[in-house]
Structure 1
Amino acid sequence: MKRNKSKSKSLLKRFFGYKVPAWILIFLFLSFVIFYFLGRSQALQSEANKAFSMVKYIKEVNEEVFLNVGIQEVETQTNNTKIPWTNIGVPLTEKKALVILNYDAKLGIKNSVKVKSTGAKSYNVEIPEYEVIGISLDTKKPYELYDSTGELLSSSTADIDTGKLATQSLTDEKQKKYIKQYSSRIDDSAKNYYKSLFKSVDSKIKLTFTFDR
């Protein structure tokens, strides 16, 4: 027993007596620190990428889209450095951006139609004023920065916000011109829609239409 104890003690002394070079200890310590902070940064990044959504409201609508208008819109903007307290641009400081947008303007109605009987199996369909139902960006190429240039001394000029430049075309107000431009096409589409709808109930039903302009 004494021999076994003395043997184990000698083994422990030999184990703790080994000299480890300082650079190995430093390397192990630095490795631990690097892996620790990498793990922390990845955890923080994955946490930062979480998204949250909240339902703001639920609203019933009676929208019908009668016409999709495929639009390619070109928007340009220029910025330059102004002489202080004036609106005069400094020569050779101009920055210019040209953005091309591709989208569909959806035109139709947001309110219900009024249907009045005008006789046996005949009805008048009163269609409310046309509105812009929404906008659908092209799935393949919705947005393209076609050109972005700056003159020789333009480094001091404010950069153009191309995102804002692109989205300023995507307002309902700018799409209303297409309602006027294609009103007859929208009328035809609306007539065909309601004729098909009523004929699915009774093929002998006759319809007339009035439009709220």
Structure 2
Amino acid sequence: MKKITKFLSFKVSLWILILLVVISIGFYIYGNINAISSGTKSSYSMVQSIEKVNEQVFLNVGIATVISSSEHTEFPLTKIKIPLTEKKALIVVNYKAKLGIKKSVKIEMKKEQEYKIIVPKYEVIGISLDKDNPYKVYDNSGDILSYSTKDIDTGELVTDELSDEMQNKYLKEYKTQMDESAKEYYETLFKAVDTENKVEVVFE
């Protein structure tokens, strides 16, 4: 009977020891999980340049451009296209171009209450894709043997369309509207100071 009691008391002590070990392991794991989940993230920024600008937008142009592109596989060492290897893409890009000036205007006083405003050359100030429908791929297909033809990079097509070089054509196309907008802007600005002010607006 004493042996049984001794064995049971030993068994209880062993279970208590096991329970303490399990609890200790649990706290250890919990602590490590918290340490991982409460880790910090930091980033550092350095200002490389600060530029003072005198931008003035005279026209916002909403543009929808249809871009088509195609690729073929050619016979080696030639410019001859292999039949049925064409891949093509058709994309519509919707964006807004801001046209105006980035440099300050020159102001000359001709005589009292008469001013001459010299507007610098127009530039593309910025472009932004339409928030709701920036661009859509309407066709991105290939002929039966086009598996070896290079894929068309639709993202690159969009980037090329939004380049300043491509936007410069709108500076010529909408020059008349920008001239009118600039004249109205500076006449309103100077007459707000004094209604007797007279303004002549010329363009470089």
1:195-206 aligned at under 5 Å gives the runs 195-206=187-198
- Map 1:120-135 onto structure 2 (within 5 A): 120-135=112-127
Q: CA deviation at 1:200?
A: 2.0
Give the partner amino acid of 2:10.
K
Unaligned runs of 5+ in 2: 16-32
Alignment of 1:130-169 (within 5 A): 130-169=122-161
Query: Which of 56, 59, 75 is residue 83 of structure 1 equivalent to?
Result: 75
1:8 aligns with 2:9: yes
CA separation of 1:66/1:7 partners in 2, compared to 1, >3 Å: closer, same or farther?
A: same
Unaligned 5+ segments in structure 1 are 16-38
Residue 171 of structure 1 corresponds to which residue in structure 2?
163
* Gap change, CA 1:198 and 1:106, over 3 Å in 2: same
Please, what TM-score do these two structures have when normalized by structure 1? 0.76
Q: 1:21-75: CA deviations, max 9, x gaps? A: xxxxxxxxxxxxxxxxxx9xxx8xxx9xx98765442211111110011111111
TM-score with structure 2 setting the length: 0.79
Label 1:11 to 1:208 Cα distance change in 2 as closer, same or farther (>3 A). closer
SS at match of 1:168: helix
Cα separation, partners in 2 of 1:6 and 1:156, compared to 1, 3 Å: same
Q: Write the distance in 1 (CA, Å) between the matches of 2:72 and 2:127.
A: 32
Mapped partners of 1:53, 1:163: distance in 2: 29
Alpha-carbon distance, 1:144 to partner: 0.8
Deviation of the 1:163 alpha carbon: 0.5
User: How far apart, in 1, do the equivalents of 2:48 and 2:135 lie?
Assistant: 28
Q: Percent identity?
A: 50
Q: Which residue of 1 aligns with 2:177?
A: 185
User: Relative to structure 1, is the Cα distance of residues 163 and 5 closer, same or farther in structure 2, using a 3 angstrom cutoff?
Assistant: same
Give the distance between the partners of 2:175 and 2:12, measured in 1 at CA.
98
Change (3 A) 1:174 1:83: same
Correspondence 1:58 to 2:68: no
SS state of the match for residue 88, structure 1?
A: coil
Shift of 1:153: 0.9
Distance (Å, rounded) in 1 between the aligned partners of 2:43 and 2:137: 28
Any idea what SS the aligned residue of 1:200 has?
helix
From the superposition, tell whether residues 204 and 83 of structure 1 become closer, same or farther in structure 2 (CA, over 3 Å): same
Whole-Å Cα distance in 2 between the matches of residues 179 and 166 of structure 1? 20
Counterpart Cα distance in 2 of 1:111 and 1:7: 94
Matched letter for residue 140 of structure 1: D
CA offset digits 1:59-118 (Å, max 9, x no partner): 111111100111111111111111111111111111001111111111111111011111
Change (3 A) 1:106 1:7: same
